[in-house]
Structure 1
Amino acid sequence: MMLWLLQQTVLLSFVCGILLVGHSAFQKHLGAHKTYSLWMMLPLVLISSVLANYLPSNFLPVQSNQIAYYSIKAGKAITQSESTWYSQTLIAIWVLGFILMSLTLFLQGTYLKKLLLTAKKVEKLDSYLPTYSHPKVLSPMLVGFFNPRIILPTNFLSLSQLKQHSIIAHEQYHHKRFDLPCNLLAYGILTIFWFNPLFWLAYRRFRDDQELACDAEVTETLNKEEKIIYSKMLLAYSQQANHGLLHTHYGNKHILKERIMQMKTRQKGQSGLAVLGLTITLGLSSLLLNQQVLAGDDKGNDIHPVIRIEPVYPAAAVKANQNGFVVLQFDISPQGEVNNIKVIKSSPTAMFDASATEALKKWRYKESKTGAKGSMVQLDFVIEAPTSDIERIKVTSK
């Protein structure tokens, strides 16, 4: 679990960094809609991490053109016991943060549910979604995954028809684009990686880009005077806007200037084919990135076990302070089982053979269509790991 979190944190941090640093350039050349679509890269990376683990085992044969190396240390059990408290502490901290994030989401959901119970129905508005008003709501917002509703401030009916239409269109576009489920997904990712500050910055930028994309959609057909009116509404509703995880926030004072400046430039339209192509490109890119991360875990080996049993360090070798190695050749069945094990070379002769062979019988590899023949592994038995200042050079003969 912790290893997966670390791998995905590094990869997602790289993606977040690109999206944050290059945001201005993306907005300028791609427009608000496609820039917002770029955030799909993050969930696609996580999905691809699952696909990268399971798809190759079903479609690709196991490669066995390289020898794998593993070290078995006599003092490894002691080292693991000494480091257990450290790993357990990290896991406990992560679990605590995960619980707090989940609790925050639950409490806000409870608050919104109570808010809806006391909200007043608003009739005769040009909206295909049910509309309500509530005195505690200071800025228009869309609420509800299964029964979406628009909640408005109590002074909404005093606005002109143009203002009302623009606000309703803004919130309805949130609904058409499934922004509420996207927000929940984004917060879910943040909940998993809450310990990374970069994810908090990315989450905030994602929500801001969401509003910018909606503004671009609504103001696309407005003239200059109408855009000025729309800007004034943004200013009015951004002073005391309701910010939350489970609803949209029309008023957003953090990017008020950016939203107003965007109206002065002509936005690139949202092409269905362009978004589809962008989605496919992002999906393939994320799959490639995850495959590279997994390849890095293999330390250059094309073949690695999914279950690896540690050999028992022979008592006689421990007593004699004896190091050594065993080179084993074996076959892998399509089911990932190990068979036909042969000792190719060992040193000292026969000292570690039995222990290495017995452990290798219990190893399991990924399932594949053809399995593999003649796979090789070298198990290095080491009493004590060399110090970091000693250079290690592997010498092979032709």
Structure 2
Amino acid sequence: MNSIDHLVTAYSERAWFGLLAFTAAILVVLLLRKPCRRLFGPLSAFQLWLLPAVAMLVSQLPHKAALQFVELSQATQAFAPPNVLMPTHGGATLDWREIALTIWIVGALVRSFSSGRKQSHYRRRLKNAVALDLGTSEWPVVQATNADVGPALVGTWKACIVLPADFQNRYDATERALIFAHETMHARRRDNWWSLLAEIVIAVFWFHPLAWLSLVAFHHDQELACDAAVLREHSAHRRAYANAMLKTQAGVVPLPVGCSWTSRHPLTERISMLKQPTPGNVMRRMFYLVTGVLTCAVSLAVYAGSSGAPTAVLASELQLNMSVAFHSENAKETISDKANLALCVKPGEKGIINGHGWTLDAIATPGADGIDTLVNVTNAHGQPVGAPITLRGQLGDLVSGKGAAKDDNGFYTLQLATVAGCPARAGAVAAHAGKVNDTSVHVVGTAPSSTESGALYTLNVNVAFDDKPAQTHMKLCLKSGEPLEASLASGMSDGVPPWKASFSVHPVDQGLMEIQGSLRGGTLTAATHPVIQTKLGQQATVMIGNRTMAAPGQAASAQTIKIDLLPTAGC
């Protein structure tokens, strides 16, 4: 899985919860904004727009893992090859989520570019604007050279108040003071920053019809709230404020980030709102109580909805997909050994793997914060290779750790991904298990689910040593379920004692044949029992042994045995 796949997989579910939370919160705001405005006033109604932001934030909060277990009769072990544990995609196949992500990114960039272009165009209209020194303003004030530009509050970081070219002639002294108070109130309330946030939301949800509808409603409620805030300080000048509105032209140049008098703010409704009395303290306190309860209810609903259903761990098993690499260095040579494997265990119970001259045991314990897996590695003499490693992660998470050798001349690294159940045993294990990037791979499973008593099969066995071409060839006639002993000569492998092996063949589900082997002798310190599933007429491979990595100026060496197994029907 490449980095894009990991990114898409990690965030697709979170993004879906965020979309649902945004949609639900926007619907609540659109339904309540007008009743809330009539009961509690425009200032209170505008605060409802905090709900979508709160809902989206809550939807992205982490949840504790929820696992459900059922009883298991026995714990088993299984090995699977790397292409089963950590698959790689050779072809350039695209997941639908990747396509959707690409389309979303393109749409967000187009919307962002469009908003930036409009903002830049408005700024260019202010190129020859004249700065005014009003003395009492905390924000820069400029007068445009055109009568259709302003009044407005423009920008965020370098915000300025823009007045039209005929500002002194169009309005009388009271009206000018009220217009200036209106734009100053926008700046005091940080409405320009809220406009920037609205543009970001639109860029993210450009595909959502409710996002565009809510943008218009948001700016409308923003202007009504600003009007109410101005009249709370200038309540004696309601008529003059209405006259100033009537004299103000709707801006013909759109202003994405800022606050301007445009046609998107219905003038009739704004003037009618001036006639309503300002709500008292009792109504404001009641509004805070209602919105507090509403915010808590929405947050709890979103958080509960985004937690997902508990993950059922079938048969109370956990499969530990592991990639273990051992590195040992001394004055004479550098040795590197790597294995990819899957260990199926019952939660809380130890699973053990022997191979490569070492023993690995692991205990996976599910908890409230994830799954803790304790891994311990010992050598052929039962001595710890390094300190035990404890890894914590959720189902499907890839975690890693490193353990130093006791003699400080080596170390081992471990990558772990835990999945529910035991896919390595339940499904068909890959037919070909062999050399992958200097990795010794075994495929080990459980007893077959079904047999055909008395059936005869031919097992073609080809043996190669030390990465050389196959030198030993034999055909074994096997009766289903009955093992047959075979001697595997060392061939031309220097210093490798003879090997002994026995093989048995069992039909299993889905047209697969399971080959169970027992290997001993050679360079093995203990017998090993590979099990491979393949189809009749399809070759499978087992590799055992060690490779010595070449030091500078020296040749690499290997003591390996590769056994190709090809079952056919009849003898």
TM-score by length of structure 1 reads: 0.68
Alpha-carbon distance between aligned partners in 2 of 1:282 and 1:310, rounded to the nearest angstrom: 44
- Larger helix proportion of the pair: 1
Maintained 8 Å contact 1:238/1:253: no
Deviation of 1:274 after TM superposition, in Å, equals 7.4
Partner-residue secondary structure (3-state), 1:84: coil
Q: 1:5/1:63 Cα in 2 relative to 1: closer, same or farther (>3 Å)?
A: closer
Partner of 1:233: 244
Maintained 8 Å contact 1:327/1:377: no
Q: How does 1:108-119 map to 2 (within 5 A)?
A: 108-119=118-129
- The one of 91, 109, 115 aligned to 1:105: 115
CA deviation profile, 1:358-380 (whole Å, cap 9, x unmatched): xxx9982299xxxxxxx995457
Q: How does 1:176-191 map to 2 (within 5 A)?
A: 176-191=188-203
Partner of 2:181: 169
1:195 maps onto 2:207 in alignment: yes
1:36 maps onto 2:65 in alignment: no
Maintained 8 Å contact 2:370/2:394: yes
CA deviation profile, 1:314-359 (whole Å, cap 9, x unmatched): xxxxxxxxxxxx8842404798454379xxxxxxxxxxxxxxxxxx
Alpha-carbon distance between aligned partners in 1 of 2:228 and 2:206, rounded to the nearest angstrom: 31
Partner-residue secondary structure (3-state), 1:106: helix
Alpha-carbon distance between aligned partners in 1 of 2:40 and 2:92, rounded to the nearest angstrom: 52
Maintained 8 Å contact 1:67/1:301: no
Deviation of 1:116 after TM superposition, in Å, equals 4.1
Partner of 2:96: 86
- The one of 267, 274, 277 aligned to 2:278: 267
Alpha-carbon distance between aligned partners in 1 of 2:241 and 2:94, rounded to the nearest angstrom: 58
- The one of 349, 373, 381 aligned to 1:339: 373
Alpha-carbon distance between aligned partners in 1 of 2:419 and 2:207, rounded to the nearest angstrom: 40
Amino acid corresponding to residue 259 of structure 1 in structure 2: R
Deviation of 1:259 after TM superposition, in Å, equals 0.7
Partner-residue secondary structure (3-state), 2:162: strand
Q: How does 1:58-137 map to 2 (within 5 A)?
A: 64=67, 66=69, 84=94, 86-124=96-134, 127-136=137-146, 137=148
- Larger strand proportion of the pair: 2
Alpha-carbon distance between aligned partners in 1 of 2:140 and 2:321, rounded to the nearest angstrom: 66
CA deviation profile, 1:47-94 (whole Å, cap 9, x unmatched): 2233x21xx56xxxx6656569xxxxx9xx9xxx89835333322221
Amino acid corresponding to residue 339 of structure 1 in structure 2: T
Aligned residues with identical type, % of pairs:
19
Amino acid corresponding to residue 186 of structure 2 in structure 1: H
Partner of 1:289: 301
Partner-residue secondary structure (3-state), 2:161: strand
Q: 1:94/1:194 Cα in 2 relative to 1: closer, same or farther (>3 Å)?
A: same
CA deviation profile, 1:229-284 (whole Å, cap 9, x unmatched): 32232233244454321110134454212111111211326899778767765664
Alpha-carbon distance between aligned partners in 2 of 1:19 and 1:123, rounded to the nearest angstrom: 41
- The one of 346, 365, 372 aligned to 2:394: 365
Partner of 2:167: 156
For the aligned residues, what is the CA RMSD?
A: 4.1
Larger radius of gyration: 2
Partner-residue secondary structure (3-state), 1:151: strand
Q: 1:94/1:67 Cα in 2 relative to 1: closer, same or farther (>3 Å)?
A: farther
Q: 1:335/1:64 Cα in 2 relative to 1: closer, same or farther (>3 Å)?
A: closer
Partner-residue secondary structure (3-state), 1:266: coil
Partner of 2:514: none
Deviation of 1:218 after TM superposition, in Å, equals 1.7
Amino acid corresponding to residue 25 of structure 1 in structure 2: P
Amino acid corresponding to residue 37 of structure 1 in structure 2: Q
Deviation of 1:288 after TM superposition, in Å, equals 1.7
Q: 1:230/1:334 Cα in 2 relative to 1: closer, same or farther (>3 Å)?
A: closer
Q: 1:163/1:382 Cα in 2 relative to 1: closer, same or farther (>3 Å)?
A: farther
Amino acid corresponding to residue 141 of structure 1 in structure 2: A
- The one of 195, 202, 216 aligned to 1:204: 216
Amino acid corresponding to residue 267 of structure 2 in structure 1: L
Alpha-carbon distance between aligned partners in 2 of 1:272 and 1:199, rounded to the nearest angstrom: 28
Q: How many residues align?
A: 323
Maintained 8 Å contact 1:66/1:376: no
Q: 1:94/1:178 Cα in 2 relative to 1: closer, same or farther (>3 Å)?
A: same
Partner of 1:256: 267
Deviation of 1:17 after TM superposition, in Å, equals 1.0
Maintained 8 Å contact 2:372/2:391: yes
Q: Unmatched 5+ residue regions in structure 1? A: 69-73, 313-325, 342-360, 368-374, 384-398
1:141 maps onto 2:152 in alignment: yes
Amino acid corresponding to residue 44 of structure 2 in structure 1: K
TM-score by length of structure 2 reads: 0.49
Maintained 8 Å contact 1:135/1:154: yes
Partner-residue secondary structure (3-state), 1:121: strand
Q: 1:37/1:337 Cα in 2 relative to 1: closer, same or farther (>3 Å)?
A: same
CA deviation profile, 1:107-150 (whole Å, cap 9, x unmatched): 23433443444211123475343211113443310123233210
Alpha-carbon distance between aligned partners in 1 of 2:103 and 2:134, rounded to the nearest angstrom: 51
Q: Unmatched 5+ residue regions in structure 2? A: 1-10, 72-83, 323-343, 348-363, 376-389, 398-417, 429-571
Deviation of 1:170 after TM superposition, in Å, equals 0.8
Alpha-carbon distance between aligned partners in 2 of 1:187 and 1:267, rounded to the nearest angstrom: 30
Partner-residue secondary structure (3-state), 2:41: helix
Maintained 8 Å contact 1:119/1:134: yes
Alpha-carbon distance between aligned partners in 1 of 2:200 and 2:210, rounded to the nearest angstrom: 15
Q: Which has the higher contact order (CA 8 A, sep 6+)?
A: 1
Q: 1:63/1:93 Cα in 2 relative to 1: closer, same or farther (>3 Å)?
A: closer
Maintained 8 Å contact 2:151/2:179: yes
Q: How does 1:309-348 map to 2 (within 5 A)?
A: 328-329=346-347, 330-332=364-366, 336-339=370-373
Partner of 1:218: 230
